[in-house]
Structure 1
Amino acid sequence: MAHLHTVDDVMTRVVVSVGHDTAFKDVVEAMRRWHVSALPVLAEGGRVIGVVSEADLLLNAQDTDPDRATTAERMMTRPAVTVAKDDPVTAAARLMARGHLKRLPVVDGDGRLIGVVSRGDLLKVYLRPDADIGAEIRELLAYHLLPHGSAEVDVHVAQGVAHLHGSLPDPALEDVVVRAAGTVPGVVGVKADFTVRGSAP
């Protein structure tokens, strides 16, 4: 588990979905069989046009009008909130939090379903080994500090917390280093202790 930056890195590729004309009872059965609380609704060609949830089903459960077929398309919430496979994991997390969603359909450039990402999938980044996180921080800092050859930063990661210490040629670099380390997936906190060479008169 070296890098977990994008939705493509964590998403589930085997997805349960329903067609736009799937009947009410068949939607209920699909949810029961696969133990999910919502399903993407697809048009012809696999394009996501909405999502039908347990809440949508309950709202339509009392509709007994025999002249109105209760299909997934009629019950679903639209437009569907989706993400692309190349979207950052953090962007997917923000969408879920903003919409109080448990999962998001993942679509290609034409809006076709290619996967699904859940809250549990996003939490995979916090299961990364500390050694992997540390290696990625060192790689990232080497890039940011390359123009400043005299910068020396030691990195130690414990339980997802990045401990950074060393010496910097410019005090302004400390904020750059801390921010860069904090962007690495799996980092839950950054603690820095730097000295600045040449700062004394």
Structure 2
Amino acid sequence: MHDTRYRDTRYIVSDVMTHTVVALRPGAAFKDIVKTMRQWDISALPVVDDDQRVVGVVSEADLLRKEEVSDGGLDAYVDPLRRPDLAKAAAVTAGELMTTPPVTVPPDATLARAARTMARGGVKRLPVVDGDGVLKGIVSRSDLLKVFLREDRGIAEEIRREVVAHLFDGPYDAVEVEVRDGVVTLTGRIRDTALVPVAVRLVRTVEGVVDVDCALAGPRRQPNLDPDLPQTEGARPA
């Protein structure tokens, strides 16, 4: 029976997040928020309480509500469903402007989970918080792409060590692994071709892999040394 287990070496959020974080207090003034965003060239800021717990997030979209009102874009009497937007347009502090509850992610989350959280929340940056909600960092879309900067050589070695060596019987180099620009090519002959889809799936989980081209084949057929004799699996009783 094949042992299909291998050590999980996937990157997690704490590996790529930004540890130095610019955060706001709930009492931060509107103009100070705008200045901070421009100074640090960021589009959203977490809001923390006195214990550094994240209580909300202020984004550029929250700030732009005020611009919409000044241009006559919001009318609470015409569209009652947009009254919360009108309230934000009148806000003057981070506590009034922020979106709650905040969309966050833990430090030990996989990059795939962080990407899904961003997509579902429609956000570009996520506060990273511990189990108590305390701010530990920020992870952005660009942070999640860092894994694709891995060198091909490092990706290939991880695949050989963590996938090939555990999945297939035979010599360490029975399956050849080549990586070019993140695209992995697997070649060689293996005993059990049923393991091919398993190999492809595991290789795709290696951080930095862009695509997988699998050319693995089964063992060579033994030549028929005496073609005149029928091929039987065993002798039959007379």
Taking structure 2 as the reference length, the TM-score comes to 0.75
Say whether residues 1:54 and 2:74 are aligned partners. no
C-alpha deviations, 1:64-116, integer Å up to 9, x for none?
Answer: x9xx8621111111111111111001111111222231111111121111110
**1:5 pairs with 2:27:** no
User: How far did 1:31 drift?
Assistant: 0.9
Q: Secondary structure at the match of 1:193?
A: strand
**d(CA) in 2 for partners of 1:82, 1:138:** 35
Note closer, same or farther for the CA distance 1:199–1:12 as it changes in structure 2 (3 Å cut): farther
- Flag the 1:140–1:50 CA change in 2: closer, same or farther, 3 A: same
Which amino acid is 1:95 matched to? T
- Partners of 1:171 and 1:196 within 8 A in 2: yes
Task: Give the match's secondary structure for 2:64.
Answer: helix
The 5 A counterparts of 1:1-201 are 5-60=11-66, 70-142=92-164, 144-145=166-167, 148-150=168-170, 152-197=174-219
CA shift for structure 1 position 150: 3.0
Which residues of structure 2 form unaligned runs of 5+? 1-8, 71-86, 223-230, 232-238
Deviation larger for 22-31 or 134-143: 134-143
Q: Which has the higher strand share?
A: 1
Q: Distance in 2 between matches of 1:142 and 1:91?
A: 26
Q: What is the CA RMSD across the aligned residues, in angstroms?
A: 2.2
- SS of 1:84's equivalent in the other structure is coil
5+ residue gaps, structure 1, are: none
- Cα separation, 1, equivalents of 2:166 and 2:109: 23
SS in 2 for 1:79: coil
Which aligned runs of 4 or more in structure 1 are off by greater than 6 angstroms?
198-201
Pair member with larger Rg: 2
Report how far residue 144 of structure 1 moved: 3.5
Looking at structure 2, the residues matched to 173 and 150 of structure 1 have their Cα atoms a distance apart, in angstroms, of 14
- The amino acid that maps onto 2:12 is T
Percent identity for Structure 1 against Structure 2: 49
1:164-198 deviation line (CA, Å, top 9, x unaligned): 01111111110111111010011010001111127
Q: Please tell me whether the aligned partners of residues 176 and 188 of structure 2 are also in contact (alpha carbons under 8 angstroms).
A: yes
Hey, what's the Cα distance between the residues in 2 that align with 1:87 and 1:136? 21
Opposite residue 114 of structure 1, the aligned amino acid is: K
| Further displaced range: 94-103 or 10-19 | 94-103
Rounded to whole Å, the distance in 1 between the matches of 2:130 and 2:156 is 32
